Structure 1
Amino acid sequence: MNTLLNRRDYLGTSTGEPMRTQVAHRPIAIPVFPATSETTSSEPISDWDLLIVSERTTSGLTLSSQPVASTEATRSALNELRQLSGLTWEQLARLFNVSRRSLHFWASGQPLYPSNEERLNRLLGTVRYINRGSASINRSILLSPSSDGRIPLDLLIAGWYEEVKQLIGSGNTPQKSPLKPLSEDAIASRMPQKPEELVDALHDPIHREVGRSRTVRAVRSRKRDSNQ
């Protein structure tokens, strides 16, 4: 990857003052990862392959942090998109026009650019809308051509999210009813006994009912005696 350098304009004055250097505030890009072989150079560039650098002074460089998306929100949204859609990492990479390596970076917690964050949320919203309740069914719908020959996955790659919603329709998956909080009596009944109550129970005398016991007598069968 070629390094882009800033042009420095040298300006002078008509009064014979010494030449002063003005530094143009133009962003430059420096490579972060080492150069790869020709077999992998055709892969799309990930968000972390480049860092945007702003040269503000002649003594040093100031780095500007471009990725702003929340890492936890990104990881959660990406995992949900993969679970609902049933698509492979290769197919998901085509949706973002990035390499699988970029998706693994995002899944491991690295932030992404706002443009990719917006695309991720739109894709997740579309898959939630068409969700049939099964990842295998959703994947089959996304990969199967419609009556007019269009494949929903290709439409998602092109960014036609509303067209996919109209083409497939709502999944109408049953929503989970929110759990109601327990009452105070129910919470109290589920609480474990206090330690002092358990200790006192060990010293309680065992109650035994005193009464007359019946003696057991052996009774011979008359039928058996008659047969003999």
Structure 2
Amino acid sequence: MTTSGVTIASASSPEATQKALSELRRLSGLTWDQLAKIFNVSRRSLHFWASGQPLSRFNEEHLNRLLGTIRYIDQGSANLNRSLLLRPDSNGNPLLDLLVAGKYEEFKRIAGSNNAPRRPLLGSLSEDARKMRMPQKPEDLVDALNDPIHRDVGRSRPARAVRSRKNSSGQ
């Protein structure tokens, strides 16, 4: 809400914030406490954001820039990304401190671009494999419904409840 009383909608929806936090956590491998340190908020605030509570424009921008930075340095695994984030720089401070200070470009320069292993390109399927994967024709499936169901009914006996009678002597 502005000083004039006008409410300005957030640039992103709560669902977008939830997805961004989830992706950030998944890619970075950082704990809630470490992420809270980056945003300079409590872990509880992060949980509120993850459950759909609104966040300030400053934190929203910080979240989007941080997510972009993590995507840039992505090495293909959360463990590798986490070890890179916690790796000490030339001064002995973890690189994570650069993100806390909002020095994204310096962090990118030091950490480098993504070194994720590339996925192999898959070749096309052979003609036999393609035919095997094709769904059945609808007319074949409809005709299958008309086939009679054969049940072999044998002789069965219904279950019977049995009461035990005890006499006064306990037998």
The answer, yes or no, to whether TM exceeds 0.5 is: yes
Higher relative contact order (CA 8 A, sep 6+): 2
TM-score w.r.t. structure 2 length? 0.68
Contact 2:2 2:8 in 1 (8 A): no
Match for 1:189 among 108, 129, 134? 134
Any gaps of 5 or more consecutive residues in structure 1?
Answer: 1-51, 56-61, 180-184, 204-228
CA apart distance, 1:150:
3.9
Residues 114, 178 of structure 1: alpha-carbon distance in 2 compared, 3 angstrom cutoff: farther
Matched, 1:157 2:100: yes
Contact 1:145 1:152 in 2 (8 A): yes
Percent of pairs identical after alignment? Answer: 53
CA apart distance, 1:86:
1.0
Q: Distance in 1 between matches of 2:119 and 2:15?
A: 24
Q: Distance in 1 between matches of 2:42 and 2:137?
A: 54
2:152 match = none
Contact 1:66 1:113 in 2 (8 A): no
The size of the alignment, in residue pairs, is 142
Flag the structure with higher helix content: 2
TM-score w.r.t. structure 1 length? 0.52
Q: Distance in 2 between matches of 1:112 and 1:192?
A: 52
Deviations 1:174-213 (A, max 9, x none): 456899xxxxx97x9314644532145x37xxxxxxxxxx
Secondary structure at 2:41 match in 1: coil
Matched, 1:74 2:17: yes
Contact 1:69 1:114 in 2 (8 A): no
Any gaps of 5 or more consecutive residues in structure 2?
Answer: 123-129, 149-171
RMSD value, Cα: 3.1
Runs of 4+ in 1 over 6 A off after TM superposition: none
Match for 1:169 among 78, 88, 112? 112
Contact 1:74 1:107 in 2 (8 A): yes
Deviations 1:58-115 (A, max 9, x none): xxxx684665531111000001111111111111011111111110111001122221
CA apart distance, 1:119:
0.6
Residues 115, 172 of structure 1: alpha-carbon distance in 2 compared, 3 angstrom cutoff: same
Secondary structure at 1:166 match in 2: helix
Which of 150-159 and 139-148 deviates more? Answer: 139-148
Secondary structure at 2:134 match in 1: helix
Q: Name which one, 1 or 2, has greater alpha-carbon Rg.
A: 1
Residues 199, 144 of structure 1: alpha-carbon distance in 2 compared, 3 angstrom cutoff: closer
Contact 1:84 1:127 in 2 (8 A): yes
